[in-house]
Amino acid sequence: MKVLISADMEGVTGVTFPDDCEPGHARWEYNRRFLTADVNAAIAGFAAAGATEILVNEAHADQRNLLLDRLDTRATLLIGTHKPLGMMEGIDRSPDAVAFVGYHTGAGQPGVLAHTYLPNTITAVRINGEPASEGRMNALLADEYGVPVVLVTGDDLCCEDARDWAPHAAHAVVKTCVDRYSAICLPPEVSAARITEAAREGLAALPASGGPTAPPAEGYTYEVSFDAAHLAPAASYIPGVVQTDPLTVRFTLPTMYEAIRCFRALTRVVTSAVENCYG
């Protein structure tokens, strides 16, 4: 039984403010322990449910945040930047299940540190008309590989959002959103117990694999909106990305594999056009 854990940081225990998860800040250094603890709690639950191989894909920012010397020895760690599939690197290694630990809601949605890939800049992402967090797009990619999502951890609004795109997964709420930069947080020992139990339950209830899911006949249409009018023209430098209004672009690709890679390229291009003061 092989499990892939995609580990983000904004949704882990105690993290509520940008400095808490921004590499280089003292608060980030402090909260790396909680990121590692939440991941370890998930590993413990999966191991209890019979997982024999657990791969953790570090998925936050430069993807070098987890503390390897504190990682549960029943897992291995895929760490480092510039991975071809980013947050979902490892989904092509035939896991039986995937878990999203430390996730959050998407750009323009309520939730602690809500965003989609970029901290601000992107104000909304829709896939085939549905609001899309990182969780939704990653779940669609997992579905294309035939891998079910069995666990989602994060704040209460992230787990509520996940009931739509991962309805059969177990959910572990580690904090309750007050606003984008504050939350009512559980002590680490309490959230760890919740995560371990949810991981155990989620893997124990693993549905029989129906194999990869075929993409919809119309493919996947992304609509991405920005907070400044110079960004949509910059995004349209990518072939197939079309500006539809001053703040929005659209593109359609036949598979989620292609669509998510195009979206990641779009974020890189747009980032290059963002200035420090006016964005």
List residues with catalytic annotation.
Answer: 115
Q: Are 81 and 133 in contact (CB under 8 A)?
A: no
Q: Considering just the CA atoms, what is the radius of gyration of the chain in Å?
A: 18
The C-alpha atoms of residue 179 and residue 217 are separated, in whole angstroms, by 39
96 known ligand binder: no
Question: Which ranges constitute the DSSP H helices of the chain?
Answer: 18-21, 26-48, 134-144, 156-165, 188-204, 231-235, 256-273
104 known ligand binder: yes
Q: Are 102 and 14 in contact (CB under 8 A)?
A: no
Largest CA distance in the chain: 52
10 known ligand binder: yes
258 known ligand binder: no
- Strands 97-103 vs 149-155: parallel, antiparallel or unpaired: parallel
- Give the DSSP per-residue string, 87-107: GGTTGGG--SEEEEEEE---T
58 known ligand binder: no
Burial class (CB in 10 A: 0-12, 13-18, 19+), 210: exposed
Q: Which residues are annotated binding-site positions for Zn(2+)? A: 8, 10, 60, 104, 134
Q: Which residues are annotated binding-site positions? A: 8, 10, 60, 104, 134
